[in-house]
Amino acid sequence: MDDALPNTAAHDPDALHSKAMRHLEQLKHPNAVNDLAFLGQHALTCLLTDVATVPFTALINKHVELKKDGAPFSFTLDLHSQKPFKGLEFSFGEVFGDVAAIPITFALERCTPKIMNALRTPMEAAFGMFYRDSAQKAADQWADHFGIERGTKEHYEYKQAHFDKEMNHAPQMLVWTASSMLTGALAQNYFMPLWNKETIGSTQDFFNILASNIAGKVITAIAANGTRLAAPQTTDHLEHKLNELAHRFIPHSDAQANEARSAPDHHIAGHATYEQTIRDASQEKSRN
């Protein structure tokens, strides 16, 4: 992680500690920019995966076309056929779904926080153990970078804040994935044919496409989450930089916009376990 500290302050312990505390406070108090940064990273990962799997997408959609005509499936692609860019057209539909899912998820996050909180419970039960390990790794990297001793209250709070942030992002990932699959399939089966003045697909075609999108999104979800688990401090740093940039354009009052779904601050003397503090945070959130 490379922070833009002035050269005169690069070796100043007080300057490093001040910078570290700003990182920590921002992590503990997420805002709209954190949500957009996460959704943008997730969408970008999925877009790159979609581009990398264009041949696979083309084969899937060729199968849809052949099935419509009652012809057997073939594993060869005729790029000199009447519709040589069919795979690319469907890929544009994938891109449309990935991008359209961002405002849909963001709107649900801002308008229905209770629903998003409810989704967190099963997501935490399923993936919490992986993100606890990732939070430990992120906190260790953060502490080492800023010269903070491991095992201190700050180190512990960063670990907890990172875990809570990722668990708050988990429902967003779920909603984004579902929205992307649905809007992408709608675009591929209905909007793209209309745009190209072609016959729109049947209901069965739509469900065939949706099934292929589900398979693709499972792969991209694994890739996106694998990136966040493997490089947690990198994602924290990117979101921190985006926050600094966005504060020039977004009112400061929005900094507490996600307070309803953020875990309360814990000023821990050092004796409580990480798991106990997470349970306490969950209980406090359920009472609010």
This prediction's pTM: 0.67
Please give the share of the chain, as a percent, with pLDDT higher than 70.
Answer: 62
> For the chain, how many residues are written?
288
Residue 258 · residue 35 · CB < 8 Å: yes
Q: What pLDDT does residue 13 have? A: 74
CA gap 108, 112 in Å, rounded = 5
Name the residue type at position 47.
Answer: L
CA gap 70, 15 in Å, rounded = 70
Poorest-pLDDT segment among 13-17, 163-167, 256-260: 256-260
Pairwise pLDDT comparison (171 vs 210), residue with the higher score: 171
Q: What pLDDT does residue 79 have? A: 39
Residue 250 · residue 103 · CB < 8 Å: no
Poorest-pLDDT segment among 31-40, 158-167, 188-197, 243-252: 243-252
Residue 96 · residue 191 · CB < 8 Å: yes
Give which of 45, 28, 24, 29 is closest to 219, Cα–Cα: 45
Report residue 271's pLDDT band, with 50, 70 and 90 as the boundaries. Answer: very low
Give the pLDDT confidence of 21-72 residue by residue, as tens digits: 887 887 787 777 778 778 887 788 777 776 666 666 556 656 655 555 555 5
Tokens (6 digits) for 181: 């699959």
Q: What is the DSSP letter of 262?
A: S
| Cα distance between the two ends of the chain | 36
Domain limits of the chain? 30-70+82-133+169-259
Residue 51 · residue 91 · CB < 8 Å: yes
Give the pLDDT confidence of 107-119 residue by residue, as tens digits: 998 898 888 889 9
Give the pLDDT confidence of 146-164 residue by residue, as tens digits: 888 899 999 999 999 999 9
Please give the share of the chain, as a percent, with pLDDT higher than 90.
Answer: 15
Q: What pLDDT does residue 157 have? A: 93
Q: What integer best gives the mean pLDDT of the chain?
A: 72
CA gap 138, 237 in Å, rounded = 10
255: pLDDT strictly greater than 80: no
> Could you give the count of Cα atoms lying within 13 Å of 167 in the half-sphere of its Cβ?
30
